[in-house]
Structure 1
């Protein structure tokens, strides 16, 4: 082979080696093009998930008919506080918030900090030499930079770069512009300055998506303390469209709107020391439940609801030894007495008779059970009376038991419990006033009223709320405690909510039936407690240290609302026209 041909061969090999990558890329491109020809027109997973169309404008995007605009925070307040991001976190519109946080290496940060400190110090000295006033625009950054440098050197702080982006979504362009102005006003009120990402809305959208990719790159240096305060700690909110207004959320000033009938049961328990505002809170709820069409029945041992009843034209029933209004303990709200219907009612009557007779033996219970069935069997057109039971017990030889019931038949209390019912629950608000009854009879009457209401509700179920004030009275005897616990347990089946109010939290929760009532109440309203009751309340409802401190120090009208698993601190508020109807403040009631 000649030198010329050898050189030609070498050059050809070199050319082939140089062009080999290009030929390989061309082949790959041809293969990819063939794949595209095969799959063209087919739909893959990406096509299914993607939007149908996107319109890009200077300051907003329109994706599938939804208008979107992204803003970034360009300026921050000089001082960071624990609630400095609340106006953004609790902004009540459809927005997405994205934080991008990057730690800055201290070795890279310190030289830049020192350079900045030198620049600011030089500017300050130059201004002093010229006799000019050195303003806060120089001194504040200088002091902050020196303080941050010292803390970084001691390991007390770290430096971060943070970017905060907010994406607003609306159905129309007009609504988008309106929401944008409102957001900018809310932020500027807290000394945050925001800007719309003009000509960068696509990059801004990419930065909002949960991919950890910051394409907008609008960063701000923050120390670790300030960065930690931007974490979006959310306070509990309780807003149900079908509910009533209970008050204002003390954590974020949002409204607390709750529908107790949408919870897993409509029962509630209220614990508060005297003067904490439990009656006021209850009356606020009564007024608003009435506006929702709920029928409300109240057992009032202290005559606190009379003015409210008169104001809304409710029915006021005063039960006492001399009153003309009566409730028959045997009133079943129906004259059809089937054995299957009587079984539950018989057990409830057993509790009432047991309370009136101050305990029963097993033999006496058996006799009462037999006597109740007989008197209902005999009564065809009207309800039996206590005297009918008394006569039947005498026939059965229960003389000792008859002696215990004698005072209710022919003694001093003959006119209280031995008469046909002449009251009705046909008004939207019915108050049973039992203040004039002797202390030893209040518990009996509260039990009879509760049983009467239960029978009426069973006969005609509709949305009702039974409020038992001073409910701890019913826990003093096993018979009444057992009855109320059963009523609370079964109330949901008849569209009834039972609300029990008590000052005696400790006594209430020490009772087995009291704890059962509390566990069967989906709504718990806890108001101010003292040091003697707080421990039992905290243990029963598993409260946090903050909630314990809140209950010990809260003001009149403040409450901790527990609805199922939601815990909300609320300030109960009444409208200007509601307040005169429900206040119990003597200074307001008796002022000239």
Structure 2
């Protein structure tokens, strides 16, 4: 605040305050904005081409539920609420409250008082006494409170239908009255002129806390000037646009049973974010997105037991010239790669002991050394064939069968398991140099052929995610998005470190301009990976600023509420619990969060995305 001398603080003769500008009426302005004609009917007013009706709340239920009040404030734009507040004289309030207490005591003590009269009187006395205490100790204030509900429709029939709907909704909080023969007075009371012409018909003496329930301090809209269209607000009918660049992070979590619209929502997000110029990398266990990616010019990487693509687990990422060496020192990347390989090997061999892990880490380090790769190697000069492969590791361990039998005996069981991935049926998935070019702005890793083998899917998941993570960390920090569908696959209760890695990705890659979307159809499986420190599924959900909950079974919803502490209203639970025979109707409809704000969302696609997804049209067919 800037200090001013007292002579400057005094109001000058020609000075005009804000209050002066809004007091009274500007007749010229009102005439300019007034409608061409206004026609009064018994219970409505036609203003130009529109039909309007102004309803009044003439009495309120003695006990109000804030959730019910919130629901009636989340009504479409052609229904408006107007509140009038008038502070009540405190001395008169105290006099009236004391008088009420005396009258009710007398009513209780008469010989004509029955049990119901006594109970009602006790309630009135308790209420009046509580209000007196609040006035005395909490410095509370009392107001005369008026509420008007203004409706607008294009026809009389539509207005009558809207009136029925509004009366039904508002019956939760009080008695609604249509002021017959005073329609114009009610209409004028709605106008922003601060002139309530029907105040004698609607008022409630109440304190400031109760009044606050009627003001929608919650936000029932998500609308940014720029951003991604998420769908339609089911409560208000308005479009939902979220600019995730203004959020704490771009991470998102999506949950819903199979066939309820989860993949549709993901595809809409993928294509929309790609159009914003972001690189999109998707782990696709069900093989839903690859064809579309290929059609759009992207890389469709298919993992198959024979003749498929492969990413060498022992590859190291190239380092972008834009990334300074102190941020991604090669020694750290090499050591981190060894750590990640140990987790992948634990997924292959769940019974690995700490001692076996220590022995294996030395073997991995040695196999890199034999290829001439250490902390000083310039990996940017290496090709895919310069890195060791799993067969090199297998053969290195096999040497100690003869050279060091006691050491080999400690790791023999793992060596036997590794043979399946080097020479057995999974060899083409893991053993060999990387044989795919993923230098593309759209990359889909298709794991559909492994859909019946969750263990192999889990190992592929981890290999892909660890490879992708360090590609992004050593890249140029261009905006990117990672989509992990069916993320519960990697949630192995026996090896929680795999799920922990996604948690690590979300914490680290945010600073590398990357957002991560995880999706699952099973809450219980997603939350199954935990150790003594934390539940990693829960940590991932907590890290996600955006969350979409689509319909699920009642048991899944209860588990979600218990584990995450989410609380849903009765109406929200009705949206989220899948009903028998209603799957098609409920598809794509759920509860969407950004931070603490939430709305009921219906997923909607634009015309092009809809044809690409539902009709499986080629992009060339749409642009010809």
TM-score (norm 2): 0.63
Counterparts of 2:145 and 2:422 in 1: how far apart (Å)?
Answer: 85
Counterpart among 564, 574, 582 of residue 605 in structure 2? 574
Counterparts of 1:408 and 1:523 in 2: how far apart (Å)?
Answer: 38
The residue aligned with 1:29 is none
The residue aligned with 2:180 is none
Unaligned runs of 5+ in 2: 36-43, 46-51, 58-68, 93-123, 125-143, 164-182, 320-324, 401-406, 531-535, 579-584, 617-624
1:341 shift after superposition: 2.5
Counterpart among 84, 99, 105 of residue 84 in structure 2? 99
1:352 shift after superposition: 0.9
The residue aligned with 1:545 is 569
1:263-298 deviations in whole A, cap 9, x for unaligned? 222222211112211111111111211121122111
Which moved further from structure 2: 503-512 or 245-254?
503-512
In the TM superposition, 1:307-386 aligns within 5 A as 307-334=291-318, 338-377=330-369, 378-379=372-373, 380=377, 381=382, 382-386=386-390
In the TM superposition, 1:419-430 aligns within 5 A as 419-430=432-443
How many residue pairs align between the two structures? Answer: 454
- Shift of the 552–245 alpha-carbon distance from structure 1 to 2, 3 Å rule, reads same
1:420-477 deviations in whole A, cap 9, x for unaligned? 2232333222111111136131111111111111121111132211111111110124
1:404 aligned counterpart, secondary structure? helix
- Shift of the 45–537 alpha-carbon distance from structure 1 to 2, 3 Å rule, reads farther
1:394 shift after superposition: 3.9
Whether the aligned pair in 2 keeps the contact of 1:383 and 1:420 (CA below 8 Å) is yes
In the TM superposition, 1:552-567 aligns within 5 A as 552=577, 555-567=586-598
- Shift of the 566–366 alpha-carbon distance from structure 1 to 2, 3 Å rule, reads same
Counterparts of 1:533 and 1:250 in 2: how far apart (Å)?
Answer: 23
The residue aligned with 1:296 is 280
1:310 shift after superposition: 4.0
Whether the aligned pair in 2 keeps the contact of 1:466 and 1:499 (CA below 8 Å) is yes
RMSD between aligned alpha carbons?
4.4
The residue aligned with 1:265 is 249
Counterpart among 449, 465, 469 of residue 436 in structure 1? 449
The residue aligned with 2:7 is 42
Whether the aligned pair in 2 keeps the contact of 1:268 and 1:523 (CA below 8 Å) is yes
1:299 aligned counterpart, secondary structure? strand
1:253 shift after superposition: 1.4
- The answer as to 2:430 corresponding to 1:445 is no
The residue aligned with 1:14 is none
1:259 shift after superposition: 2.9
Whether the aligned pair in 1 keeps the contact of 2:291 and 2:300 (CA below 8 Å) is no
In the TM superposition, 1:56-455 aligns within 5 A as 57-60=26-29, 76-77=53-54, 83=72, 86=75, 99-100=84-85, 162=146, 204=193, 207=194, 216-223=195-202, 231-233=214-216, 236-334=220-318, 338-377=330-369, 378-379=372-373, 380=377, 381=382, 382-394=386-398, 397-398=407-408, 400=412, 401-437=414-450, 439=453, 440-455=455-470
In the TM superposition, 1:491-570 aligns within 5 A as 491-512=509-530, 513-539=536-562, 540-546=564-570, 547-552=572-577, 555-570=586-601
Whether the aligned pair in 1 keeps the contact of 2:281 and 2:483 (CA below 8 Å) is yes
Counterparts of 2:468 and 2:594 in 1: how far apart (Å)?
Answer: 25
1:247 aligned counterpart, secondary structure? strand
Of structures 1 and 2, the larger Rg is shown by: 1
1:569 aligned counterpart, secondary structure? strand
- Shift of the 68–511 alpha-carbon distance from structure 1 to 2, 3 Å rule, reads farther
Whether the aligned pair in 2 keeps the contact of 1:475 and 1:511 (CA below 8 Å) is yes
The residue aligned with 1:483 is 501
1:148-188 deviations in whole A, cap 9, x for unaligned? xxxxxxx9xxxx8848699xxxxxxxxxxxxxxx9998999
1:384 aligned counterpart, secondary structure? coil
Counterparts of 1:85 and 1:76 in 2: how far apart (Å)?
Answer: 19
Whether the aligned pair in 1 keeps the contact of 2:53 and 2:187 (CA below 8 Å) is no
Whether the aligned pair in 2 keeps the contact of 1:59 and 1:69 (CA below 8 Å) is no
- Shift of the 498–584 alpha-carbon distance from structure 1 to 2, 3 Å rule, reads farther
1:538 shift after superposition: 1.9
1:53 shift after superposition: 9.8
1:346 shift after superposition: 2.1
TM-score (norm 1): 0.66
1:533 aligned counterpart, secondary structure? helix
1:351 shift after superposition: 0.6
- Shift of the 78–426 alpha-carbon distance from structure 1 to 2, 3 Å rule, reads same
2:481 aligned counterpart, secondary structure? strand
Counterparts of 2:338 and 2:245 in 1: how far apart (Å)?
Answer: 29
1:236 shift after superposition: 1.9
Whether the aligned pair in 1 keeps the contact of 2:146 and 2:203 (CA below 8 Å) is no
1:42 aligned counterpart, secondary structure? helix
1:522 shift after superposition: 1.8
- Shift of the 235–267 alpha-carbon distance from structure 1 to 2, 3 Å rule, reads closer
Counterparts of 1:510 and 1:474 in 2: how far apart (Å)?
Answer: 10
- Shift of the 100–474 alpha-carbon distance from structure 1 to 2, 3 Å rule, reads same
1:353 shift after superposition: 1.6
2:397 aligned counterpart, secondary structure? helix
Counterparts of 2:53 and 2:200 in 1: how far apart (Å)?
Answer: 10
